[in-house]
Amino acid sequence: MEKLSNPQVTIEILKKYNFAFQKRYGQNFLIDGHVIEKIIRAADITKDDVVLEIGPGIGTMTQYLAEAAGYVYAVEIDKNLLPILEETLAEYDNVNVINEDILKLDIHELIRDDKRTLKVVANLPYYITTPIIMGLFENDVPAESVTVMVQKEVAARMQALPGSKDYGALSLAVQYYAEPYIVAHVPPNCFMPRPNVASSVIRLTRWDKPPVEVDDEKLMFKLIRASFNQRRKTLQNSINNSQELNISKSEVTDALNKMSLSENIRGETLSLEQFARLSDLLKK
C-alpha cells in the first residue's frame, strides 16, 4: 500500500476504521515522510539490527523501520489500533506487533534469543517520556541507542550542561547512561492531530560504561534529586532538607571544602563528575 506518511492515506485509513484518537495515550501520528527518514538515518538502522518501536500508532514509522531493519518489535497499548496495524503492515513479514503497555513489558524476555544489535526508535507518547527512557536505562535494556521524538523542552533538558537554565536532574540522569544529541526540531504541523507543543528528535547513544565512577549510584541520584527539588536553595540546605537523605549541613560543608567548592554553591552548577565525588564523600 502507499505509505501512511502521505496525509491523505492516513486520513483514509482512520476513516475506514472509524478510529477515535485517545488523548490519554498521547496519540499524535506523524504525517511527514522527511521527518521519518531523518529519524531512521539518525538511528542508523541496518538490516543487521533489531528495532524496538514504542507506540507504532497506525504504523506510519513502522513501515519505514520494517524496510530498513532486520526485524521490528512494535509495542502498542491501544488495542483499537491492532486491526489497523494488521492492514498497514500486511506486506512486511519482519514485524511483530505486541499489544502491551511498554512500562509493564519485560523487554529482556522479548529479545532474549535475539543476538542482533538492539536499537530503540519511537515517536513517544509525551505523557510518559521520562519513565520510558529512564526505565530502558535503569533496567539495563541492551539497546545501543535510543532515538526518539520528544517534547522540545524535554530534549533541551536532556542535553543541557551545568549552569544553563535547562540543566537539572533529567540532564544528569540521561547523561550518566548516554550521550545525547539533538538531531532535529519538528513543528506541530508534521503530526495529526497537531500537538500544542514543538517537538525534537534526540538520539541517546548508550555509553559502554558510565562516564564517571561512583560507589553508590542510588545515593548520587538521591543527592541530585534533592539539589534540584529546591533549586533556589544552597546545596547544603537542599540536601539537609531532603526527606530521602539523612545528611547534616556540616557533613555537606566538609565535603564541599574537600572539593574546594564554596559553601554557598547551588546544585545547578555541579557537573556529573562533581555529584559523583560528593556522593563518595557523603557515603557513610
Site residues for ligand SAM per CB under 6 A:
25-30, 54-57, 60-61, 75-78, 101-103, 123, 125, 128
* Cell numbers standing for residue 209: 560504561
State in angstroms the smallest separation of the CB of 125 from ligand SAM: 4
CA distance 120 to 132: 11
State in angstroms the smallest separation of the CB of 137 from ligand SAM: 17
**Residue 29 vs 177, nearer CB to ligand SAM:** 29
State in angstroms the smallest separation of the CB of 159 from ligand SAM: 21
**Residue 30 vs 202, nearer CB to ligand SAM:** 30
State in angstroms the smallest separation of the CB of 44 from ligand SAM: 19
Q: Does an H or E element contain 185, and which?
A: strand 178-186
**Residue 194 vs 258, nearer CB to ligand SAM:** 194
**Residue 33 vs 162, nearer CB to ligand SAM:** 33
CA angle centred on 153, ends 132 and 73, rounded to 5° = 30
CA distance 30 to 163: 34
Nearest to 239 by CA among 209, 181, 193, 230: 230
State in angstroms the smallest separation of the CB of 126 from ligand SAM: 7
* Cell numbers standing for residue 7: 496525509
**Residue 49 vs 78, nearer CB to ligand SAM:** 78
* Cell numbers standing for residue 61: 514509522
Q: Which residue has the closest beta carbon to ligand SAM?
A: 55
State in angstroms the smallest separation of the CB of 59 from ligand SAM: 8
> In this structure, which amino acid lies at residue 245?
L
State in angstroms the smallest separation of the CB of 4 from ligand SAM: 8
Peptide bond into 193 cis (omega under 30): yes
Q: Are 99 and 82 in contact (CB under 8 A)?
A: yes
**Residue 19 vs 221, nearer CB to ligand SAM:** 19
* Cell numbers standing for residue 143: 539497546
CA distance 256 to 251: 9
State in angstroms the smallest separation of the CB of 194 from ligand SAM: 12
Q: Are 252 and 244 in contact (CB under 8 A)?
A: no
**Residue 195 vs 210, nearer CB to ligand SAM:** 195
**Residue 91 vs 273, nearer CB to ligand SAM:** 91
Q: Are 262 and 255 in contact (CB under 8 A)?
A: no
Crossing angle for the helix pair 152-159 and 169-177, to the nearest 10 degrees: 70
Q: Does an H or E element contain 255, and which?
A: helix 249-258
